[in-house]
Amino acid sequence: MRTHTTRPAPAAAVAVLALALTACGGGDDTADAKSTAPAGQKGRDTPPPSPASGGDMDLDEPAMGKVAEDPGTVTYEILPLKVDVSTEAEAAKAISEPSKAKGMVLATARVKYTHKGGPALTDGSDVHDATTVFADGQRGSVLIGAAEDAPGCDDPYDVDAWREGETHVFCETYVVQANAESIEVHWTEDEVDGEPYIWKFDPKNA
């Protein structure tokens, strides 16, 4: 399995921390920020089918899933491109209570979503809502207010003419523990009962 991460530029925003620490196994913990500044078979045009109920994925292996969007159900191909991992110092600058951010870093997942079937979207997208970031199996805290339209990232709420065959890259920033052995990007078709698709990145290559 290939692993790679890249390091983003230092965060310029000052954040208001809501909940910096999370419990193992998930939850809806968040950290607030001011957004002033987120194995398939090769050689084939059609990607192989993804596991029916989630599972571990190779970094070049997309998942396929359906999302109930406002105009109707849309089928998407989902593939994380990379994860940007900050330093602890950069994370401290992005959170208003540095003492609570001690030992934490920011992990920004850049995920490519391709509209594969269904109606055209005319008023934003919800496909990114099922994306979460974990570190060593522990879910991170969402950094609320992180710039969703940073360079290389599209704002999902600005998507107003997304048709079949078109692709957008959305970014999700989470606060996770530093020195993790792996950073995981999860996407779940059924957020209540579904098993997530999991792509594992190596933060040591940042």
> What confidence tens digit (pLDDT) does each residue in 108-136 have?
999 999 999 999 998 889 999 999 999 99
List the one residue out of 170, 177, 124 whose CA is nearest residue 147. 170
Q: Which domains does the chain have, with CATH numbers?
A: 15-35+59-205 (2.60.40.1240)
Q: Which pLDDT band, with edges at 50, 70 and 90, does 152 fall under?
A: confident
Torsion-angle region of residue 72: left (phi > 0), alpha (psi -120 to 50) or beta? left
Which of 65-79, 94-108, 140-154 holds the top average pLDDT?
65-79
pLDDT at position 95, please?
A: 83
For residue 150, CA distances in Å to 37, 102, 139 come to: 7, 25, 23
Average pLDDT of the chain, as a whole number: 79
Give the global pTM: 0.75
Strands 72-85 and 104-117: antiparallel
205: helix, strand or coil: helix
Beta strands in 36-103 (DSSP E): 55-57, 63-69, 72-85
pLDDT value at residue 53: 66
